[in-house]
Structure 1
Amino acid sequence: MKRKILIIDDHLKLYKSLARNFKHLGYQTVHAQNGNEALALCAQDEIHAALLDIMLGHESGVDVLEQLLTRHPKLPVVMITGYGSIDTAVQSIKRGAFDYVTKPLDFDKLVNILENALNAANLPEETRRVAPRGKDLFPEIVTHNPAMLELCQKTRKLAATDLPVLITGENGTGKEIIADLIHLHSPRRAHPLLKINCAAFPETLLDNELFGHEKGSYTGADSAFKGVFERADQGSLFLDEIGDMPLTIQAKILRALQNHEIRRIGGERTITVDVRFIAATNKDLHEQIEHSAFRRDLFYRLNTAMLHLPPLRKRKEDIPLLVAHFLREHAHAHAAPGKTVSAAVLERFIDYDWPGNVRELKNTVNYAAALCSEEMIQVDDLPPNFISFETGEDAENVRDEIEKNLILKALQKTNYNKKKTAEYLNMSRTTLYAKLQKYGLTLPK
């Protein structure tokens, strides 16, 4: 059955344009020009979601919203405003609107919000939540947690500057996503964003990767090599896990930030670089400084623009939204029908502390979606060791076990065809072979 959208707007031209676009996506639309017409249509037909203009001639869309939700409390309503008034939008959301969009309308964004609304409407009522307001700032952020919303606002403002930014937070909270957003919404977005994980390189290799080397500077240096500082010129550079960086390289980083100059290994000339610097760490840098593991002067150079990502256990109101988001992603990636989760599953998710944060939640949802053969995911579809998470097992070992079981189930589903298994898991065959070896999985002859 096609889902039916009620568009409440007193501008016929806008309705016709929206109706035509929605028709191409397989939606049906009906039109009301005022509150009375909207209420009549909802009474006589099954409406799955509504788009409501805040300004309806002499009528207030906020008042119409209240009337609609009084009679149809489960109807998801997305507000449309030509004024971009945050106060009015917040007032609408407090009164039960799912989300809002501003004119001129970005249709792709509108469709994303509408699909979020329709998906949320299918959640069990006791776990249904209001709209992910963070999406109004960044489509990649799914949240209505106050701390996260404040972080989105601050990220948007910092993105417009050229200040170096330090992003802190536990593993799995989304630090790299924030770094991507800073670059994508900065004046440097037309230039590259290069990334380095400082914990992935020993000191000598990290030094070389960051600053490059001159020909002949060491055995095997047959040609000159540009480090990421040079390659990221005019763009941005993201250094992840900067708390794991050796002190000697921290000194070079500080000099590069202060003077916009670097020197290649084995080089005598200084090279001017123009780079937006973004760093991230899961460590407590104050503690690192006390243990002489992080330079105090580098910390002070970075801490003027800090962004701290809260762990998932402190934003549990976002869990139903994130679950719905990951289920949509999984359905799209595998061209499969969308799934929902039962109230028991959501209750378990909300009770759990998620030491691996959003990344762990995503892995768990993907695992359950891959194994579940019904439309609704039940507790039995969760990873077999999900309960053991709650008894304090090491999170890394548990994540490995989840991945191992997911690969095993995928192999079984594809009759142990490695090519099809890699496609099903959205990974390369090389990666699959490496993981088969890692987990000791052998295929039946």
Structure 2
Amino acid sequence: MDRSLTSAQLDVFEKEFAARPANRLMQNAVTRTPVDDIALDRRIVTATDHSVSHHLDDWKVTDQRRSGRCWMFAGLNLLRVGAARKLNVKDFEFSQNYLLWWDKFERANHFLEAVVETSGRDVDDRTVAHLLGDPISDGGQWNMFVALVAKHGLVPKSAMPETDSSSATGPMNRALRTLLRKGARDLRRLASEGVEAQRACKGEVLAAVHRVLSIHLGTPPSRFLWQWRDKDQEFHRDGWTTPAEFAAAYVRIPLDEYVCLVHDPRESSPVGRTFTVEYLGNVVEAPPVVYLNGEIDLLKRLSMDAVVGGEPVWFGCDVGRMMRADVGIWDAALYDYEAVYDASFTMDKASRLVHHETQMTHAMLFTGVDVVDGAPRRWRVENSWGDEKADKGFWTMNDSWFGEHVFEVAVRRSALPPELAAALDEPPIVLPAWDPMGALAQ
């Protein structure tokens, strides 16, 4: 084929298109009907029901609305299970707005420290450009969630309820991005005057960030009065308490024992090694975000074992692939796009990572699993998109989709095979800031 497009080549393509009746049929269909409705494999839809052999959830789903806080919602949804049991209430929510406030403030400081550290590099340096590209998104990772709870504790939703901006973060984030990029400019200009001059400037930027967050989200409480009535109508009062005391009382799982097990099948990512991503995080001086790479069958088995044992599982995935929202189904072959377009779309998971076709985009909870002959057949998923879709907000994932589009699960270290657990004590391989495994779930 010639280097540039020619009229002769276009003529050939047009004639080949017109020569096949199937192309004209698809053109007529797709120009009048959404392509997903045409490509949908009805056999998969009708063969997939929402029943599972092991079912944990008997609570209502939450709704992150127009925000990218899925990782935070999924983490708090995991923790609220034990809290609700201890409180003896049917439904309970920790304040997502409280953790959002602290995540934004901590992340602003984390970004500005990264700017100070890289201020000697050219602004077009790839790492600097990556940092400036999105200085304060809503997305996050499991280790970032744990870092926030460890440092700032938790409060009930009643102590810091949602605001318009926590449920629709766009305008707030716009102001924060501008403040932080302006701060980055000023910090870089002060590089020749030393770190102390830069940190003084950083303090001024953080004061402005504090004001923006407090205006949009309210002020996070340092103490609050906690009292409640349980599902048996018995009244309880803990009295005045702090966020740290509340977390200590109502977080019923040992967060520091959980590790992030990932499936990264790239040749450059050996199984049984740990990884971290440069400049990934939110809390300065918190333990780094570390992944332990394992085989996909191990991720499935440990997730199944946890759910069967009575504990939901936090996981991250590429949520938009092969998804049908109105029925709440994921399946690896849900849409037959190849039949529609007469073109191959096949790429394995490693190739999709290498060529920027996939990354982790969303985090949720496994709250059920259908086990047949000791192996998972389908998964029940608590999403944070409200209760209007799927089974009142609980979705169904066929196991084929897990293998292709799930990237990480949070599991207890004690559940790992001994050789993998030992790898957690080795220094992690450092991936560049732009590596796809550093993607933030939103």
TM-score when scaled to structure 1? 0.26
Larger RCO (alpha carbons 8 Å, 6+ apart)? 2
Greater radius of gyration (CA): 1
More helix by share: 1
